[in-house]
Structure 1
Amino acid sequence: MNIQKIEIFSVRFPLKVPFIVSYHRYDDMPSVIVKMTTACGLVGYGEAVADEHVTGESAESTVSVLRHLLAPLLIGKNPMHLEHIHDEMDRAIRGVPAAKAALDIACHDVIGKKLNQPIYEWIGGRYHESFPVTHVLSIGEPNHMAQEALEQMKRGYTAVKMKVGVDVQTDVARVKAVREAVGNDVPIRVDVNQGWVNAANTVQAMRLLEPYGIDWVEQPVKADDFEGILEVKQKISVPLMMDEGLKDVHDMRRLTMMQAAHKANIKLMKCGGIYPAKKLVHMAEMSGIECQIGSMVESSIASSAGFHVAFSSKIVKTVELTGPLRFGKDVGNLSYDLPIISLNDRSGLGIDVDEDVLRELTTESYVVGDESHVAR
């Protein structure tokens, strides 16, 4: 079962409303979809959602790396040889985790179809039956965020994650407004996306937020400031989650050795796919650090991949894979039963990809392998 052809599609997903975080506003979501075909006719799909601020990649650079380097490298390879495939990709180029994730996810989809098993069954077996889905609020005016939070709680959501990180005073006003709207029993998680910059600002903010019962605070300081996030952990009583600062096994080793945070937000786009994500999960579990499988606002393809990691991992306690819920149009049919999600038992990723929609949303595409390097 060797890889015969890899098709690369650069797409833009329409968002129902803009998505705003501390470092950027997204009016639509660029993504790169890969379609992998084996010599025996099996087809697997993968996805890369690059982020210049997090993974150091853009959609354009991802297409280029896939087209000219990584996809040609995989032609003729057995997709089941995941350790070897990742080793070869890492030898070929440092970093570019989203590009590698796209190929990793496609390999897993193919393997699952070959085995006629859902991915979660052979990467650990199903542990969780379902997960509650957290509603994510992008940055806005306090009253608008409060109104949206209240509306979503009425729809059945049981927890809310707030994007903040503009400045301490307005962020406190946002949290205050949301807490007053939803009441004291709804868990509120605060994601700063590095926006408070350093430990001093974060400690000040968290002291002002004490009356509002925050569930946890996520990545308040710059991504590479492990010493800063450790200082915050020592000075606040609210649990602390690391996100942008945690990409690969080297970051996880540093996190676990320093015990710099209570929780780890693992994202397939940051670490290179399903296979490396499971390695990070096991490392975290050995150190007693709870995990979340997070989102880079991916489609049904990469969101499904993240759910397979989550459902097969005991130490994963929460998920925030809500990209498909934000899209006006998606290429896949990942199904949510809000306010929870429970995966089906279909083989591979367990989703269907609508190739008509894929073509509609595609801005450029390439073929590597059969009809090699033909632009369409």
Structure 2
Amino acid sequence: MIQNILVSIDQYKLHSPFVTAVRRVEAIETITVHIETESGLKGVGAASPTWQITGDSIASIKEAILQPIKSELLGQPLSSLEALLTKVKTACKGNYSAKAAVDIALYDLFSKRRNLPLYEMLGGYRNCISTDMTLSIDQEEKMTMKAMELIKDGYDALKIKIGGKFEEDLSRIRSLRQAVGSEITLRIDANQHWEPKEAVRFIQKLEEENLKIEFIEQPVAADDFEGLAYVTQHVTTPIMADESLFSAKDALKLVNMQACDLFNIKLMKTGGIREAIVIADIAEAAGISCMIGSMMESPISVAAAIHLACGHRNITKADMDAPLWLENKEAIKGVSYNKSLINCLNSPGIGIEASMLK
């Protein structure tokens, strides 16, 4: 039986600012949630707000967990994970990050009860996955120097954040491709930066110059599904939906409109692992591959997302470098990083105990 739900507010400093088209981050604020049971077993989860995307804040996440969600779960038996997850989903409207934190804690709890690593409980398709490394927006020369450092360190896939003027962004990408050579994978994340026609013009320019971009992520505004479809239909470079994809309903709409070629699944958008699995299944049925991604988040929620990716065969790519931006790398828990390769630990759950967080 669920006996108590506790939360704490934590902060992780970054080693350098993370800059995108929509925000600048110097430290990660997070809510950590602990679900305590009558038997003494505990589940841990976490959520980090990205109000520009999800609309959540530390205050709203905390309130949603300690009020409607907690009241739905206290005293409930541990007989059905599905029943508990349904209570979390229907406890309140919105509040996806708060729901994700509790969803993660429940999955952690139930996989610990089975004495299995979470990725095995979710299917165990693999136990490791490779991540790209993100280049946040900066001066062209600095971005190129950083790219060369990352390649020297053994990374072979880079995600480029853009969000400036047309020619400046294009020049950055040209310089990066010239510096890193043709064998390094380059991905571009526009974070909703363009209008549809401008996106097409920019991407077609990349194609004309043969800059070999693996995919373009979220070129237009999140709610502009028609614009996203327009871009997808007018370029040959694969287009990935990110901010347009929160729910299974969104996934179906994107599929039916043929609005994108790839999905980026993030637990803070989906409200947790359960909805993420449904999205990945819809994508697989439609022939769409998925990438697991994250905001700038706690190592706890990142670990949960990596376990999900390793458990599901249709999550084939990863953008899970957030922990590598932390000033204190000892804060990384639940998974291990060996350059771009991320391994799930074989400990029960997501591999994180409450005692490890003190």
TM range (shorter): over 0.9
Give the 3-state SS of the residue equivalent to 2:50 in structure 1: coil
Match of 1:205 among 199, 202, 206: 202
Contact 1:132 1:158 in 2 (8 A): no
One-letter amino acid matched to 1:236? V
Q: Quick check: 1:180 aligned with 2:159?
A: no
* Matched position secondary structure for 2:339: coil
Q: Does residue 1:52 correspond to 2:79, yes or no? A: no
The structural deviation recorded for 1:354 is 5.3
Runs of 5+ unmatched residues, structure 1: 359-376
Q: Specify whether residues 352 and 157 from structure 1 end up closer, same or farther in structure 2 by C-alpha distance, changes over 3 A only.
A: farther
| Structure 1 residues 297 and 79, CA gap change in structure 2 (3 angstroms) | farther
RMSD: 1.5
User: Aligned pair 1:157/2:155, yes or no?
Assistant: yes
- Cα distance in 1 for partners of 2:268, 2:219 equals 20
* SS state at 1:28 partner: strand
Map 1:219-258 onto structure 2 (within 5 A). Answer: 219-258=218-257
From the superposition, tell whether residues 214 and 80 of structure 1 become closer, same or farther in structure 2 (CA, over 3 Å): farther
8 Å contact 1:332–1:352 — kept in the other structure?
no
Name the residue aligned to 1:193.
Answer: 191
Q: Which amino acid aligns with 1:207?
A: Q
Q: Deviations over 1:148-173 (max 9, x none)?
A: 01100110001100111223222111
Greater alpha carbon shift after TM alignment, 199-208 vs 323-332: 323-332
- Residue 144 of structure 1 and its aligned partner are, at CA, apart by 0.7
Residue 22 (1) aligns with residue 21 (2): yes
Following superposition, the deviation at residue 353 of structure 1 comes to 4.9
Residue 208 (structure 1) shift: 2.2
SS at the partner of 1:146?
helix
> Which residue is equivalent to 1:349?
350
> Once the 2 structures are TM-superposed, how far is the Cα of residue 83 of structure 1 from its aligned partner?
2.7
In the TM superposition, what whole-angstrom CA distance separates every residue of 1:219-275 from its partner, at most 9, and x where no partner exists? 010001111011101111100000000000110110111121000000111001111
User: Does the aligned pair in 2 maintain the 1:162–1:190 contact within 8 Å?
Assistant: yes
- List per-residue Cα deviations over 1:31-62 (Å, max 9, x = no partner): 11101111100011101112112111111211
Matches within 5 A, 1:56-67: 56-67=55-66
Distance in 2 (CA, whole Å) between partners of 1:37 and 1:175 is 49
The CA distance in 2 between the partners of 1:203 and 1:285, in whole Å, is: 27
Query: 1:123 aligns to what?
Result: 122
> What is aligned with 1:319?
318
In structure 2, C-alpha distance between the alignment counterparts of 1:209 and 1:79, rounded to whole Å: 53
1:135 corresponds to which residue? 133
- Give the deviation of 1:300 after TM superposition: 2.0
C-alpha displacement of 1:177: 1.6
CA contact (8 A) 1:9 1:34 kept: yes
Report the CA distance shift for 1:312/1:90 in structure 2 as closer, same or farther (over 3 A).
closer
AA in 1 matched with 2:339: L
CA distance in 2, matches of 1:266, 1:142: 29
Name whichever of 77-86 and 200-209 sits farther off. Answer: 77-86
Q: Does 1:287 align with 2:286?
A: yes
After superposition, the C-alpha distances for 1:183-213 in whole angstroms (9 at most, x for unaligned) are: 11111000000011x2111011112222211
Classify the secondary structure of the residue corresponding to 1:336: strand
| Structure 2 unpaired stretches of 5+ | none
**Alpha-carbon distance, 1:80 to partner:** 5.6
Any conservation in 1 of the 2:28–2:298 contact (CA below 8 Å)? no
Three-state SS of the structure 1 residue aligned to 2:193 is coil
C-alpha distance in 1 between matches for 2:162 and 2:79: 41
Q: Distance in 2 between matches of 1:280 and 1:246?
A: 9
Mapped to 2, the partners of 1:40 and 1:354 lie a distance apart of 17
Alignment partner, residue 367 of structure 1: none
Which deviates more, 201-210 or 87-96? Answer: 87-96
State how far apart, in whole Å, the 1-side matches of 2:92 and 2:200 are.
Answer: 38
What fraction of aligned residue pairs are identical, expressed as a percent?
A: 34
Residue 167 of structure 2, aligned match among 162, 166, 169: 169
Given that 2:162 and 2:188 are in contact with CA atoms closer than 8 Å, whether structure 1 keeps it comes out as yes
SS across alignment from 1:55: coil
Distance 1:95 1:221 in 2: 23
Cα distance in 1 for residues equivalent to 2:229 and 2:341: 33
- Give the aligned partner of residue 260 of structure 2: 261
The count of residues paired between Structure 1 and Structure 2 equals 354
Secondary structure in 1 matching 2:344: coil
Residues of 1 paired with 2:340 and 2:91: CA distance? 42
Cα separation, 1, equivalents of 2:140 and 2:183: 19
Moved more, 245-254 or 171-180: 171-180
The equivalent of 1:364 in structure 2 is none
TM score, norm. by length of structure 2 = 0.95
Q: Distance in 1 between matches of 2:96 and 2:134?
A: 24
Map 1:36-51 to 2 at 5 A: 36-51=35-50
CA distance in 2, matches of 1:241, 1:80: 38
Q: Is the Cα contact below 8 Å between 2:81 and 2:110 reproduced in 1?
A: no
Which sits farther off after the overlay, 325-334 or 38-47? 325-334
Shift of 1:91: 2.8
Cα 1:352–1:85 change in 2 (3 A) is closer
| 2:186–2:212 Cα contact (<8 Å) kept | yes
